[in-house]
Amino acid sequence: MTESGGEWPFDCESPTSGDEDDLDARIVARIDPALQMHPIKGLWESISEVKARLPCVPAYIELYRILQAMFERYEGRRVPFKRNRNFRIQKSHILKALQLLDDDEHSDLSDPDKIYANCVETLRLISLYGPEGTRFQHAGVLEMMKDESLPEKYSKPQKRFLRFLREIDEKWQAEHVEQMELDEQTKLAEVEASLEVSSVDSTGSVVADRGNSVTLNSN
């Protein structure tokens, strides 16, 4: 993307080496300027400040929101090399460009797929039980989301926070089994109704086309 929001120019020389590390580095270098021009103002600039506050829970939540915005906009897009346009942007490229991917295999920021899974699950559960929770606002969740205190060495408050969210969700689901079943039946009925409408529209279109065809042929 250009600063004005247009498409990237495919003007960067394509990699000639078959070395995966070299290719990876070239892709990261190519997409870095685009990430800095994300249309959400200040998104790129906030990363350094957020990283400095890790691993407190509020910082992780902000980081996940940044990553969600980056993944949604850039993952899967073609890398704008001049000649070879078969390369696509992956989560790992984005994380490396943001200097977030950790080489330590025991780190919570070492596996791109795990980072993405934790990001999606955490934000989904916050939308259910956080400050604007669609199910309810849990006091414990609200408290943990405000806790900026420096955690003890080697502690992982973001993991504890996600476990806490899961426990709340499991309890809610256990207490609302009938409601969930009813919601599922409602969704299924809506899907079936939509399919029936689509089928009728499709049939009507075919009939209309045939009628037009007959009329044209008769002339």
- pLDDT (tens digit, 9 = 90+) per residue, 156-207? 999 999 999 999 999 999 998 888 788 788 888 888 888 887 766 665 555 5
Read off the pTM.
0.77
Q: Are 112 and 92 in contact (CB under 8 A)?
A: yes
| Integer Cα distance of 172 and 137 in angstroms | 12
| Integer Cα distance of 72 and 128 in angstroms | 21
Bridge partner list, 81: 12
pLDDT, tens digit (0-9, with 9 covering 90-100), for 41-73: 888 889 999 999 999 999 999 999 999 999 999
Show me where the domains of the chain are located. Answer: 20-175, 177-219
| Integer Cα distance of 5 and 10 in angstroms | 15
DSSP H helix total and E strand total for the chain:
8, 0
